[in-house]
Amino acid sequence: MPEPEKQKGRWKEAFGNDRPIHIEVGTGKGRFITGMAQANPDINYIGIEMFRDIIVTAVQKAEVADKPGNLRLLNVDAGRMAEFFAPGEVSRVYLNFSDPWPKTRHAKRRLTHDNFLRLYESVMPAGGEVHFKTDNRGLFEYSLMNMTDYGMRLADVSLDLHADNPEDNIMTEYEEKFSSMGQPIYRLEAAFRNAPDEGE
Question: What are the catalytic residues?
Answer: 99
DSSP secondary structure letter of residue 126: T
Could you tell me how many helices (H) and strands (E) the chain has, helices first?
Answer: 8, 7
Helix (H) or strand (E) holding 24: strand 21-25
The C-alpha atoms of residue 17 and residue 116 are separated, in whole angstroms, by: 28
- Is residue 91 within 8 Å of 125, Cβ to Cβ? yes
Which of 87, 190, 83 has the alpha carbon at shortest distance from 133? 190
